[in-house]
Chains A and B, each alone.
Chain A
Amino acid sequence: MTLKSILTGAVMALGLGTTAAVAQDDKTKVGFIYVGPIGDGGWTYEHDQGRLAVEEHFGDRVETVYQESVPEGADATRAITQMALNGADLIFTTSFGFMEPTINVAKKFPNVKFEHATGFKTAPNVSTYSARFYEGRAIQGHIAGKMTESNIVGYIASYPIPEVIRGINSAFIHARKANPDVQFKIIWAYTWFDPAKEADAATALIEQGADVILQHTDSTAPQAAAEKAGNVISFGQASDMAEYKPSPRVSSIIDNWKPYYIARTQAVIDGTWESQQTWDGIGPGMVGIGEITDAVPADVKEEALALKASIAAGEYHPFTGPLKKQDGSDWLAEGETADDGTLLGMNFYVEGLDAEIPQ
């Protein structure tokens, strides 16, 4: 045994000892690590709504703490450790970039439960959870295909990761079904939240003829740009973005973490918490579809709601064959649906998309 490992052991024992002492408190302490400010109106805002729902549901039985605008990397490790040291029993880390820090900290605090959003690494005390946003994208794609007059749909993408590529494919497949002439123009913003960049991207897409804007970034700036341009419709992302109703915002994908956060907190209180991987969609209510406004013709709205109902009931999977990949090779045969493994690692476009995934 080297000096190094002895010292590590000593420091860890000290750390765990104090944690255990603090955890004696009968209130369950739930911590949240946010990547953005709670007022971002999108991603972090909805996670914070989930936190507030936990507080409301359990009242005095829980205490919640949060840290906002936590940079990914070494700072995240410290922020998570700090929460664990201060006696948190359950910690939600709500950004993909917190994956490695979460796993690292979890090793040192085996008695604390961790929940990492949108990642793929688990441990005995680390679960992952994410939402099947692509189900909502299918509905957006349908409305977009029906509504566009220029046949050009603009898409503001964040980073070329499977999550985002899945959304583009799902939206495109359903836009094409609704309108065989539709084309997608995609701009990569390389950010999750940057109002200035998002506004620039929206404006550029509109100038290229797009009259529908889809966004996979979290600010309302594209909504404002669409409103300014006039005759352009858009969809709320992560949060309802209701202030842009009834137009340009004609519908939205709403992340609804409340039921999940309440259920997992309950599991910790009951002592039934187990490591698992959750990927829920419209059916269980993790993905919400915001009100489809009257700017959408009644028949299109009806079709969209029918699509939503069939996805929620599990009757229809947005990735159902026949589907080909962009290069023309076969992907899914008639009636075949995509498996989760392929979807989770999706790194290709489907046939018909006239764009390239940046490398």
Chain B
Amino acid sequence: MQGTQPRESWLSATDRLAPLLMLAPATIFTLLMIGFPFVYAGYLSLHKLTLGSPTPPIFVGLDNYFKALDDPVFWTALRVNLFFYAVGLLLELVLGTYIGILFGQPLRGVAVARVLAVFPAVIPSVAIGLVFAQMFDPAQGLFNFGLRALGQRPLAWLAAPNTVLQSLLLVEVWQWTPFIALIVMGAMQTLPTEPYEAAVIDGASGWQILRYLTLPLLRPAIVVAAMLRTVDLMRIFDSVYIMTQGGPINSSMTLNVYAFTQGFLFSQFGYASAIMLVLLALTALASASLGALRRRSSG
């Protein structure tokens, strides 16, 4: 024992440093890839600059933010963002909870259905965009064929300002409802059995059990799902960019797609950064309110 004394103190010294050394690479990576761009985007949002020109960025204060206030497309994008967030989240939560409870039933064969049901959430949004672009096609698409077969008038789907948002919402809800269902299904597997036995003995109806037992027990899982979807719905990009790029005539423009357009098509990097920081603030606000709801429900 005594012979190992110096070795142990050397070891305990490296062991004290071990957590630091293990965390360091990931921390440095995060600071370089996230921390630096975050600060730089803040800097850019206060400057006007032209890409490739030798003149340094000009400090313009909050001009980029004021510019957004006067920009009708910014307000359109904000409205579209909030539409997708509010309506999308509501539909996904209601349908996802329903499907989650349905597929969470301990029935024979349901395990296979559970595996298949998550596919929309795990395949690339580009693939989903391509399939729906086909089905939405006004002249050759499957949806209008279906309407025609039912004797209904065809719709323009993605091609008209008055139907584009509902069409994109349909894709978004189809793609992400299974994700919420998956979380609810997982929570269904961990429900305690005693309250159910007690409820049956007390003669509760199926509806009463659902309303006063299952739903309250699932609430924490549903709030987690809502928080995750809030972050993703607020920064909705893939499906919109792939299918409409914000059109026709900006009618499906979201803040993320608008910033992308301003930045990478028009080289307005200062303005694009300002829009993104506004979006980040809105997302943080929405998440924080859900976080407060969650603490209240678990407390």
B is a partner of A: no
B residues bordering A, Cβ < 8 Å?
none
